[in-house]
Structure 1
Amino acid sequence: MTPAAGAPDRDTAGGVVAGRMAAAASAWLASLDPGQRGPAQWPGPSDGPQAEAERLRWHYVPTDHGGLPLGRQRPVQQSLAMHLVSTGLSAAGYVTVCAVMGLENVLDRAEHFPRGSGDRERYRDPGLYYLRVFGEPGGPAPWGWRFGGHHVSLNNLVVGGRVRAVTPCFIGANPAAAPLLGGGTLRPLGSTEDLARDLVRSLPPALRARAVLLNRAPSDIVSGNRPRLPGAGETEAGPDDGLLPLSASPLGLAGSELDGDRRALLEALVSAYVGRAPDGLAPPVDVDAVHLAWAGPTEPGRPHYHRLQGSRLLAEWDNTQQGGNHAHSVWRDPEADFGLDALAAHLAEHHGG
């Protein structure tokens, strides 16, 4: 997938967005009192193994993601925090993340408002989304930031004044679908789910047989929250006794075998993942080389899984829990998750490796 006509090139876009991120991060940090600063800002990615190990730690379950939670911030600080979050997302990506965060209130009702324990007074808490900055925003050294909580994990790195990584990028939804007044349905990730299903159901039998690999779905995304994806010759078994193992060699049906409306559906599905980031930040994706794999039934409302995999793209989706009403989705760049490639090059150039 080449950039759209008129879209900024990656260097230009990376520099512009890095400037916005630095300004927003600096404003947020300046608003914090000394007691808040400790969890909010850690050493930068090039400041030693402890800081880097923390930067590579990520979750998508309701646990301590590391950082300063929104619930421990004053309203103006929360606004500044969300301003920083918005700099790393497209308009649609930001709206989707905000909707997912709001689902904590919906889930609280569905679970009969359970109480928390210890320091966590409220179990389903939209205030438990954590923001942490690594390093000095806008300075010459690499720096980054992470925002995460239940069903959200955003990871960003700036090197040389340019955004060099926006993945892993996880967005989930529980419930995946909830009723609205007037007969409507709230589905923050529904369009992504529908695009994949429509594509698979549009395939003729011979192609569908190569895309639909199993009649049941893995119980979760196979890559989980691993900091690194398997390289050449490596395989990750994933959940469920190795169901649909993950390796550098993609499974399923290649995009090169699609044309017309089916190819357009695949392009739209890829865009649903890479379009989470601001224009110009995602690496180009060769749709011909992207493989589509599906597991589980193709009827709406049934537990299912899909995967898109190419040289610069791994996207995974599952909607299996709660009878197919609890979705997980992740976008990763096998070559540049967490900006490890750019960070290694920077360290080699400026610090002798």
Structure 2
Amino acid sequence: MDGFRSEATVAAEMREGVHALLAALEPEQVRELRAGPARLDAPEWREWTYLPGSRPGLSTEGLDGAQRDAVDALLATAHSAAGAELARGAIEVERHRRAMAGATGADRYWVRLLGDPDGAAPWGWRMNGHHLAVHVLITEAGMRVTPHFIGSEPARIPDGPQAGRRLLGPEEDLARELVTDLDAGRRAKAVFAAAPPDDILTRDDPFADPDLLPDGLPHGDMTPGQQGLLARLVRRYLDRAPAAYARECWSETVARGPGALSFAWAGGREPGDRHYYCVRSPDFLIEYDNTQDDGNHAHSVWRHVRHDWGADLLRAHYTDQHR
């Protein structure tokens, strides 16, 4: 994990990043950046997708170099150093995919600013496009950064200057090591299907529902070594976020008891096999699939049952306003 930054420090960095972006934009671009309803708990804010296609907001496609640098700098503030590398990687792999398909033109992602970063009211921002979805909300009480989605098509770049690159390789390898280490009895609980689903099961649902996922193998039924692998896998996702928020989420899991975690797998266990896995708990869920394009197209998502879209912070803020 990179150096610790408090949530207040991260929020200040984001404010600076937003101001730098606003200063670099033309008036019409600022209007596009601010597209959306005034209240941050409006249903529209829960609309998202990781599929190709346009979104509301400011498109990066027409930005000049300084403007795009400002977007990239803002994107980095929502992550740890490792998380920022993943987010940049999703964009880089998407460029490779488009080049292999003969597509021309600039990157196509959309950025939206929610609320006023200089006021006392909640505010936030998001960046969305094919295989990248980052959602940030900040109040005086804290910050939230889920849903968080990273995809990679291809999962392994077959040729060219980046040949062999596996953006989500650690996410895949840790889970495979875990399922491979299970004995027959434990594996029978963990593996819920011989054929994996074609995509993550929660898709782009507005609400995270762990009950959509299979029960899998409980943490308490694993050996200590397997429990350690599961913890490393979970931290791989949580540690995408700035350290303060990642620590908060992990501390919540530890306080509840890691026995609430479970792990499930579907598909083959050999490298290159189509496969899927998930981790569920009462607080969050993690999903990963590498099933499309004959097992060379990966999706990964981290959702939080209460924190997605900053719903808990918004609820507290609006409740306090009406007391």
Same fold (TM over 0.5): yes
**What residue is the counterpart of 1:321 in the other structure?**
292
Contact 1:44–1:143 at 8 Å: present in 2 too?
A: no
Amino acid in the other structure paired with 1:276: R
* Structure-2 residue corresponding to 1:145: 125
Flag the structure with higher helix content. Answer: 2
Aligned partner of 2:97 in structure 1 is: 107
Matched, 1:348 2:319: yes
Are 1:186 and 2:176 an aligned pair? no
Any conservation in 1 of the 2:145–2:309 contact (CA below 8 Å)?
Answer: yes
Is 1:22 the counterpart of 2:15? The answer is yes
Q: What residue in structure 2 maps to residue 243 of structure 1?
A: none
Moved over 6 A (4+): none
The residue aligned with 2:26 is 33
- Matched residue, 2:242: 278
Task: Give distance in 1, aligned partners of 2:37 and 2:114.
Answer: 5
Structure 1 residue 126, shift from structure 2 partner = 4.9
TM-score relative to the length of structure 2: 0.91
Change (3 A) 1:81 1:182: closer
- What SS does the aligned partner of 1:280 have? helix
Question: Does residue 133 of structure 1 match 2:113?
Answer: yes
Amino acid at match of 1:312: D
Structural mapping, 1:8-157, within 5 Å? 13-42=6-35, 46=39, 52-111=42-101, 113-114=102-103, 122=104, 126-157=106-137
**Is the Cα contact below 8 Å between 2:139 and 2:313 reproduced in 1?**
yes
Paired amino acid for 2:191: V
2:244 counterpart SS class: coil
Structure 2 CA distance for aligned equivalents of residues 329 and 191 of structure 1? 12
Structure 1 Cα separation of the partners of residues 209 and 236 of structure 2: 24
User: Which amino acid in the other structure matches residue 125 of structure 2?
Assistant: W
The number of aligned residues is 316
Q: Does 1:215 align with 2:179?
A: no
Gaps of 5+ in 1: 115-121, 236-245
Distance in 2 separating the partners of 1:141 and 1:45: 11
8 Å contact kept, 1:100–1:172: yes
Which amino acid is 1:146 matched to? R
Q: Percent identity?
A: 35
Question: Distance between the aligned counterparts of 1:182 and 1:222, measured in 2?
Answer: 34
Q: Which runs of 5+ in 2 are unaligned?
A: none
Would the alpha carbon gap of residues 332 and 346 (structure 1) be closer, same or farther in structure 2, given more than 3 Å must change?
A: same
Supply the distance in 2 between the matched residues of 1:351 and 1:328 (Cα, whole angstroms): 41
Cα deviation code 1:166-217 (max 9, x no counterpart): 0000000000001357996100001110110110000111111110111011
The within-5 A match list for 1:160-309 is 160=140, 162-163=142-143, 165-179=144-158, 185-230=164-209, 246=212, 251-282=215-246, 283-284=249-250, 285-286=253-254, 287-309=258-280
**For the residues of structure 2 that align with 1:167 and 1:341, how far apart are their CA atoms?**
12
- 2:315 and 2:199 mapped to 1: Cα distance? 31
Paired AA for residue 174 in structure 1: E
Structure 1 CA distance for aligned equivalents of residues 228 and 88 of structure 2: 28
1:240 is aligned to: none
The RMSD of aligned alpha carbons is 2.3
Task: Please give the alpha-carbon distance, in whole angstroms, between the structure 2 residues aligned to 1:182 and 1:227.
Answer: 38
Q: Does the 8 Å CA contact 1:40/1:68 hold for their aligned counterparts?
A: yes
